[in-house]
Structure 1
Amino acid sequence: MGEVELRDVFSHAGMRFADLPEYIEERARWEEHGITMHPNSQFGVRVLSYFMLADDITVTTCRLSPDGLPGQHLRVEIAGPGSLFRIQPLDRCAEAYTSVRLRLRSSEATSCVDVLRRILWLSEFEVTAREGEGEPTVWQPNVLSEVAPLGENNPHDKGAVRKEGARTVSTSTPAVWWCDTWGGMLADGLWAGRGLFGAVVNLSGERTPRLTVDRRRIIDLNMAEVEQALRQEIPSLLAAGTDVFRHEWLEHFLGSSLTIADEIFAEAVRVRFAPWRIAGHEVDITKSGFFAADGHMGLSPAETGPWPGHALVPATATRFRTPPLVGAGFFPGFTTTRSSPHALPVPSDTFILTPRWSTSTHVPWSGSLLQEGSEVGIGTLVNTAAKIGRSVEDVAARLQELGFSVPTTPFPRLDAADLRLISMSISGEAPWLHPERVVHPAHIIRAAMATGHTSPYITDRLAALGYRTPVCAGNHQGLSDLRILSVHLNGSGAWLRLDRPVDPAHIAFAANETGRTVEDVATRLENLGFSVPAASLCRLSDEDLSIVGLTSDVGPGNPWLVPEEVVPPPHIIQVAGNTGHAVGQIITRLATLGYKVPAHPMPPRERDDLRLLSHNLDGQAPWLSPDRTVHPVHIALASCVLGCTPAHVASRLVAYGYRLPDIDLLDLPDLGPIDLRIASYDLDAKSPWLAYDEPVPLFHVTQAALTLKLHPHAIADQLESLGYRLPDYVVRTAEG
């Protein structure tokens, strides 16, 4: 600085050097030679911040003159932000420079080295900071600092340190650095208060953002400029191999930029990036697609036994991802010869399929299109489009490419009131009404109560939006209706099913709880669109309720026998034992109440009959269905678990009227401890057992192989010998 700068700028808060006529003229001369200058001063108050730390400061400076020679050598002593100061000329010096010395007000003042370590991430020039006689900290020019606190949420916090083992990848420009943890946005090399997972981007020159007065936060960040800077350095990221770019890294990077995440993955597919691993399994990136939840589907080579959250993974999600993962080599020993007609998912599809996706929690399957029974409705399309910044039509088209059915066009335009109506919670948020199911009367009543509209209005509006509405007579009766429509008779929670007749027990309990007659309750439910049994079948005594209840606890909300289905023989045996009545008396009473009883006479009971007739061989419901052929696996498992021959198991099943499979019982394998573990859902040789009538998920086969240290083909062989089957698109690899 020269005397003019010290007198007219340095001493006046709010004055900027870049506003001086002398600087403006000099800048114009530089631009004539193609050199553009970008001053980083924004407010002209930075010198005042010195006095946050110091009682007085000394500035020694020598300005470089336009002819390239050192100018006047000057010194200024300032005793405080409101003090006068005198400019003192000094002897001439050999080089132009500026030195600012702060005299800290106490020994407990903030460490200058610590502040620089946390805030100065990238310097254009070499910087050395030393505290006392300690080792100096050095910032090399245009190199991301080795002490920058990567991985911290807020480097302004004292004690913020670099995450141990944090890795970085340099690029063709010092303005962009990739990293495997939290990085951030810099303004002229200084932390600017905005975190960014996976990269450090320095905004300077023409890209310098507007900052708050304290320079702690960016105002109106231009994310397009940040994305452009990242886009240009995608090749540098991939060229570094797996130093940073990994499946779990891209999973977290989704929160930084969906656009760049898609472009990174597309480029990785184009160059056939390898090795690419999902949950530790190397796969072909050109065949796998990308879904952020792939690493949370219940399979990791570092674990034995099923992943603790595997039971939460919807079967729909497994079915959606297994075919491409098989083709990509995710499951050792298996591949597929069938090509899918659908597009492979890309990173941004994660937010279309699971709108509530977050890396900070478990996979939010609730509200996901991969949740069991979910369908794409207009609510899903509108909500997802708003969250990811795309049109409803674009989201629908993408879902069709992924193999989902979507509503027919043109799509209705929904306002906020409509979103409330089609939201199951009447909140305007997911989950949404199922587009193919009849809207439950309880939803219409709740919507009417919440919005102040009549039930007919709600019904008509939902019908206009393309939903199937129930046939209800007249207006609702508010909470009174909600009570009898709720399974637990509390006016909320689970509701009666529309696709089956109301249980007589529910009507009996509802009449008792509300003080109404069973005829009144049955008539009201019928008016609300439900099929109801004859009122005479609903007058149940306490003993009747214990007979038709599927559990020992008798009360609202507990499961009941279904009058249209044959009562399982073991239920009759169990009820007879609990009530002290003879089996024949129980059968007679059930028939009187309108239930379908077994046509086959009941044999004398043997000790293990209840276990043998229970699906999980534990003597408790669920029971084997009398209407279905018993699976060979059940016979083999029962023989092993109960310690009897398959022939004995078969004879007891026949005695109770069950149908046997058309096989030779001698062909059933003898099951050992390993076989029982393989056939158990949790690989623990205990119930629950794998379902007989569905293909065994390859996730189970592979996890069983890892846990039991067997080849996946050996697991598959044993399962097939038990009568299980793999998905029909799966074939074994020769080298597997």
Structure 2
Amino acid sequence: MSRYLDSEGPWLEAGEAVSAWHVLTAANQLRERPGDIVARLEQLGHSLADDVRLPEFVSSRDLLLLRGPNDDDHEPELTVVGETVPMGHVLWCATELECPPAVVREMLALLGHLLPSGASVPERVLSDDLLMLSAELDWRAPWLPVDEPVPLGHILRVAARLGRPPVEVAAQLVGFGHRLPEGVVLPAEVHPDDLWVLSKRLDGQPPWLEPGRPAGIWHVLAAAQEVGEPPEETAERLAELGHPLPPGMVAAHGAEYFDLVEIDTGPSPDRPLTLADVLRMAGSRHSPADTARRLQDLGFTLAGDVVYE
């Protein structure tokens, strides 16, 4: 009845269907047949998920198919009823079980888990495929999620790593069942600073700016300072990559004119700035009057009747 099979809450909801992972993992822990676990769960008001065909006995192969790597660094892969299978997981399992990816696909289908619609399974596993499907580019889980568009930063990072055009990498990811951000324009090649400015932490690695969302003004200023170019050039490049500044914002001054301790610690442009905001951004290096004027140049509005001199 424990959702994570650890004898503790959270518990299965009343009448909730259970996944193949739940049944097979419980059977393995209790040294019982999967059918006996299903029978007991039915007595408790639960049923096996539709389209699941359980084996008569638990095997290490089936546990690997559903769990993925068995270590403390990874959560089990396919625990949710009907969860879609990432292609990276299919290829990893094929490598571990030394069988064609198509065989893995069929075994997972029997256990109630399908690939994304339209995904094309390769005949064999290539190292480059595992790398591009890995969120950290380390040939292993966590894999790119199938329910989210692939961030442009990931596509460009793979292209730079493999020495391939971004459009080629993107096409292969689409073939594997992933989707691109809506309206994304892929550059012909990877600019040396692209990965840095697309990274939320400005280190050229994930997490990336979220697809389809504007770049925050403070991210733009910090990114420009990091790569050593004028803020307006960084803003222009991010706009080309699908991350324009919010309406009304202008990269008119560099980060050095504000007391910006960390990325995205500046005030939000969604509200007028208070005196406290201005004083915080001025810090001890700049006068409040100069800071207020520069904030207005960026597109911020000031609250109240405070006169900055």
What TM-score does the superposition give when structure 2 sets the normalisation length? 0.68
Please point out which of 55, 64, 84 is paired with 1:501: 84
Q: Secondary structure, in 3 states, of the residue corresponding to 1:422?
A: coil
Kindly report which structure 2 residues correspond to 1:593-612, keeping only aligned pairs within 5 A, or say none.
Answer: 593-597=176-180, 599-602=184-187, 604-612=189-197
Q: Secondary structure, in 3 states, of the residue corresponding to 2:260?
A: helix
Separation in structure 2 between the aligned mates of residue 425 and residue 547 of structure 1, nearest angstrom: 33
CA contact (8 A) 1:505 1:538 kept: no
Kindly provide the CA deviation profile for residues 80-116 of structure 1, in whole angstroms up to 9, marking residues without a partner as x: xxxxxxxxxxxxxxxxxxxxxxxxxxxxxxxxxxxxx
Aligned twin of 2:24 = 445
Deviation for aligned residue 1:626: 2.1
Please point out which of 658, 663, 671 is paired with 2:248: 663
Amino acid paired to 1:625: E
Separation in structure 2 between the aligned mates of residue 552 and residue 641 of structure 1, nearest angstrom: 23
Deviation for aligned residue 1:661: 1.7
Structure 1 residues 643, 438: CA separation in 2 closer, same or farther (over 3 Å shift)? farther
Structure 1 residues 552, 449: CA separation in 2 closer, same or farther (over 3 Å shift)? closer
Structure 1 residues 660, 435: CA separation in 2 closer, same or farther (over 3 Å shift)? farther
- More displaced stretch, 662-671 vs 577-586: 662-671
Matched, 1:470 2:53: no
Kindly report which structure 2 residues correspond to 1:218-237, keeping only aligned pairs within 5 A, or say none.
Answer: none
Aligned twin of 1:424 = 4
Deviation for aligned residue 1:482: 0.5
Kindly report which structure 2 residues correspond to 1:69-84, keeping only aligned pairs within 5 A, or say none.
Answer: none
Structure 1 residues 648, 459: CA separation in 2 closer, same or farther (over 3 Å shift)? farther
Kindly report which structure 2 residues correspond to 1:373-384, keeping only aligned pairs within 5 A, or say none.
Answer: none
CA contact (8 A) 1:537 1:594 kept: no
Deviation for aligned residue 1:672: 5.5
Q: Secondary structure, in 3 states, of the residue corresponding to 1:663?
A: coil
Please point out which of 212, 217, 227 is paired with 1:632: 217
Aligned twin of 2:100 = 517
CA contact (8 A) 1:603 1:656 kept: no
Aligned twin of 1:312 = none
Please point out which of 118, 137, 151 is paired with 1:568: 151
Q: Secondary structure, in 3 states, of the residue corresponding to 1:559?
A: coil
Kindly report which structure 2 residues correspond to 1:151-550, keeping only aligned pairs within 5 A, or say none.
Answer: 421-422=1-2, 424-426=4-6, 428=7, 430-433=8-11, 435=13, 439-462=18-41, 465=44, 470-471=49-50, 472-475=52-55, 477-478=57-58, 479-488=60-69, 494-497=75-78, 498=80, 500-533=83-116, 536-539=120-123, 540-550=125-135
CA contact (8 A) 1:570 1:623 kept: yes
Structure 1 residues 474, 610: CA separation in 2 closer, same or farther (over 3 Å shift)? closer
Structure 1 residues 435, 663: CA separation in 2 closer, same or farther (over 3 Å shift)? farther
Deviation for aligned residue 1:500: 4.4
Separation in structure 2 between the aligned mates of residue 434 and residue 616 of structure 1, nearest angstrom: 38
Separation in structure 1 between the aligned mates of residue 61 and residue 164 of structure 2, nearest angstrom: 38
Structure 1 residues 452, 640: CA separation in 2 closer, same or farther (over 3 Å shift)? same
Kindly provide the CA deviation profile for residues 469-527 of structure 1, in whole angstroms up to 9, marking residues without a partner as x: 5332234541221111112167x962114374211121122123223332332222222
Deviation for aligned residue 1:468: 7.5
Structure 1: unaligned runs, 5 residues or longer: 1-420, 681-688, 693-704, 710-716, 724-736
Structure 1 residues 450, 574: CA separation in 2 closer, same or farther (over 3 Å shift)? closer
What TM-score does the superposition give when structure 1 sets the normalisation length? 0.32
CA contact (8 A) 1:489 1:510 kept: no
Please point out which of 138, 143, 154 is paired with 1:553: 138
Deviation for aligned residue 1:561: 2.7
Separation in structure 2 between the aligned mates of residue 502 and residue 643 of structure 1, nearest angstrom: 42
Structure 2: unaligned runs, 5 residues or longer: 269-279, 285-291, 300-309
CA contact (8 A) 2:158 2:169 kept: yes
CA contact (8 A) 1:569 1:602 kept: no
Matched, 1:615 2:200: yes
Percent identity for Structure 1 against Structure 2: 25
Deviation for aligned residue 1:611: 0.7
Please point out which of 211, 236, 240 is paired with 1:651: 236
Question: Which structure is larger by alpha-carbon Rg, 1 or 2?
Answer: 1
Separation in structure 1 between the aligned mates of residue 74 and residue 46 of structure 2, nearest angstrom: 22
Separation in structure 2 between the aligned mates of residue 521 and residue 585 of structure 1, nearest angstrom: 26
Amino acid paired to 1:519: A
Amino acid paired to 2:249: D
Q: Secondary structure, in 3 states, of the residue corresponding to 2:261?
A: helix
CA contact (8 A) 1:445 1:482 kept: yes
Deviation for aligned residue 1:422: 2.4
Amino acid paired to 1:612: V
